[in-house]
């Protein structure tokens, strides 16, 4: 299982990206306004749903709940946490297992009592799902620190693989047992990742990390 995280300040855009599939071009210079659903709702937490007449979810209603809660803490501009988890191509976990991963993620990353929704995608070789969570809780407090998230996400993925008997997914790490590297086409990428992993425990801010990297 591989996880990726990003922060945003536009809840509706992230929600629509995870829920809708944009229509294909119909004629030259004209984009179809029709949207089809690609995201299957698997889990929802501290949010209400409204269904449109055509059976789709009302994204405006869902996004408004995120923005209304954001009004309690305007100092935090990037209040939307977008997390994705992707499985091995050979693996098709059940919705119950995805829900279990999502709730464990909420506990570990500070979203246990926050607004959160999970959409599953099966439109690629790797089944994956997206978590859209509000970093601000109902009291206006930022409960989700984003610092060192890359390392935390990697550890979380390894824990879920072990606890839920998931297929181990190769990532950009050194295989110390064999003394060999997993195959990567971009060696510079691997070297940078290794350097960041080495320096992260030694720094307490992004600025310090930047200064250390520049010295290397």
Binned at pLDDT 50, 70 and 90, residue 177 comes out as very low
Query: Taking the CB of residue 206, how many other CB atoms lie within 10 A of it?
Result: 10
Task: Give me the residues paired with residue 121 across strands.
Answer: 128
pLDDT over 70 at 178, yes or no: no
Report CA-CA distances (Å) from 129 to 104, 126, 153: 14, 10, 15
pLDDT for 168: 87
Q: Is 161 left (phi over 0), alpha (psi -120 to 50) or beta?
A: alpha
Q: Comparing 57-66, 95-104, 149-158, 192-201, which segment has the lowest mean pLDDT?
A: 192-201
Query: Taking the CB of residue 72, how many other CB atoms lie within 10 A of it?
Result: 14
Mean pLDDT value of segment 81-92: 93
pLDDT over 50 at 33, yes or no: no
pLDDT over 80 at 28, yes or no: no
pLDDT for 171: 55
The C-alpha torsion from 42 through 43 and 47 to 53, rounded to 10°, is 20
Q: Higher-confidence residue: 9 or 204? A: 9
Segment 109-164, tens digit of pLDDT: 999 999 999 999 998 888 999 999 999 999 999 999 888 888 899 999 999 999 99
* Local structure of residue 119 (DSSP, 8 states): E
Domains defined along the chain, listed by start: 2-169 (3.30.930), 172-216 (no CATH)
Residue 110 in contact with residue 144, Cβ under 8 Å? yes
Mean of all residue pLDDT scores within the chain: 85
pLDDT for 22: 57
CA pair distance 58, 36, nearest whole angstrom: 13
């Amino acid at each position: 299982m591989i996880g990726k995280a990003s922060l945003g300040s536009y809840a509706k855009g992230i929600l629509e990206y995870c829920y809708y599939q944009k229509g294909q071009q119909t004629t030259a210079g004209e984009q179809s306004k029709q949207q089809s659903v690609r995201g299957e709702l698997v889990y929802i937490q501290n949010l209400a749903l409204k269904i449109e007449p055509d059976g789709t979810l009302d994204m405006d209603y869902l996004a408004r709940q995120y923005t209304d809660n954001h009004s309690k803490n305007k100092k935090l501009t990037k209040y939307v946490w977008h997390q994705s988890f992707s499985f091995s191509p050979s693996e098709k976990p059940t919705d119950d297992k995805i829900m279990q991963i999502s709730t464990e993620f909420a506990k570990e990353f500070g979203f246990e009592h926050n607004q959160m929704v999970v959409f599953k995608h099966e439109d690629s070789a790797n089944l994956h799902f997206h978590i859209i969570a509000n970093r601000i809780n109902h009291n206006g407090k930022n409960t989700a620190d984003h610092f060192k998230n890359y390392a935390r996400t990697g550890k979380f993925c390894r824990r879920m693989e072990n606890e839920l008997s998931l297929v181990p997914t190769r990532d950009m790490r050194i295989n110390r047992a064999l003394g060999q590297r997993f195959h990567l086409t971009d060696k510079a990428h691997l070297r940078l990742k290794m350097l960041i992993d080495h320096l992260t425990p030694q720094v307490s801010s992004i600025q310090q990390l930047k200064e250390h990297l520049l010295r290397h």
